[in-house]
Homo-oligomer: A and B are copies of this chain.
Amino acid sequence: MISQTEENYLKAIFKVVERGLNPALTNAIAAEMQTTAASVTDMLKRLAEKNLITYEKYRGVQLTEEGNRLTTALVRKHRLWEVFLVEKLHFTWDEVHEFAEQLEHVQGDILVNRLDTFLGYPRFDPHGDPIPDAEGRWLFRPQALLATLQPGDRGVITGVQDHASSFLQYLDQVGIALGIPLELLERFPYDQSVRVRIQDTMEIVLSEKIAQNLFIKIS
């Protein structure tokens, strides 16, 4: 058996690694978990004891195969519940995180799989993140940050890197949502902000920070 706290640590390690830090270091995990390095060290010993991570003192940790399997299942649950919350209960994409954080700890593979069926086997969550299937397989799609596109590039908005409510609400306000066509018109060298056309009609200017957090699938 694995506790909810242990599950949260596994996810934190997964996120740190996903962000490019591999092996994941104690302080990075502590920041992700919003706790102290001492608490993290304690937990890393427990997780290593359970063979969910490999842990080398002062050198950081990596998920084992079993740790990876568990973490993938967690991410799958989290994202499927997010789809449920948005599509069935009509929450907005900035409201679902806290609920999904709780729902992901509900145990029982059959429940997740029935939920998956009920939702029609979605492969991406409301933020555009991929949802692994029941066997833990990920479906990645080619996408690039808006900040890396060149003027003239066109595509469709496929995801967000930052999940902060304030960011998502801003996107709602300016009319940006997943699936919307977008064309990069020009980049202003002074502050790296970009002028884009969305929905093939409206033109708006987005700051570099926004462009650094929007994923586009170039067509």
Contacts and interface: CB of A to CB of B under 8 A. Distances in A.
Interface stretch (A96-104, A141-149, A170-178): A96-104
Nearest to A103: B106
State the number of copies, please: 2
Q: Is the interface of A mostly helix, strand, loop or mixed?
A: helix
Interface string A107-125: 1100100110110000000
How many chain A residues sit at the interface, stated as a range, is 10 to 19
A106 B114 contact: no
A91 interface: yes
Contacts of A105: 102
A89 interface: yes
Contact of A89 (B98, B102, B114): B114
A108 B118 contact: no
